[in-house]
Structure 1
């Protein structure tokens, strides 16, 4: 009888410990008070050396800065794609009908982990965009939501360029 009571008490203790374990990496969920890297809301994360440094020079979403067509030149913003961690928005620059630069206008940045993931993933996504010249690119392992949002916004920007 005492073996059953000890086994029952041990089982209950393990279950209580499992349910009290925190799995979130968000600093506020962990009670972190240290500094975190945060980007200002609406700030661009530059990826390409051709990224404009003056945000006021950017064209509105879907608005070309030159004529459209096969040889379209200009800057085009994709629509913001919602992800579970925040919006992802892409801006592309076309020259001679080719994507010559891509950058993210918005990426999730609420936690240090968001910033780490996006600092690693976005350059890979941009490189694939410049190589593929299309939105049919691979997702980055470990950044699935960002990748899917990037691809969705990239396709929107490409569509805007061909209007």
Structure 2
């Protein structure tokens, strides 16, 4: 077991199984490795059953606290897909950037707090040097399947 996997295990975190999406017209990969760059498609929250229960807009059907937890769950889903693709999370030398989208009502301005859920998982797992990343967080009117949070990222391989 690698260092990152061990840290997750020590925290009692079990990475979720792959999320099964409805068939789309194109087979878009969750993780695309180009040289030392790891481009990570937009991920939503998952859990041990593969599907996260909170659905809707933050500030209406979903609270800011629930959305923060959804962002944490999104990190676990992303880490699970990275582990499946790379074989070992220790191959990640560092995180480059994160782009978080929050499905929220007009006037909801706590978007960075929501995406902090994702960032905290990455920092906890990879530490302050490897986990450090540039980040943007925006509010949007809708996200696929009614999920409250979607996050894409880029990392770099060792």
Give the alignment's TM-score, normalised by structure 1.
0.29
Report which structure shows greater RCO (CA 8 Å, sep ≥6).
2
Q: Which has the higher strand share?
A: 2
Give the alignment's TM-score, normalised by structure 2.
0.30
Query: Highest CA radius of gyration, 1 or 2?
Result: 1
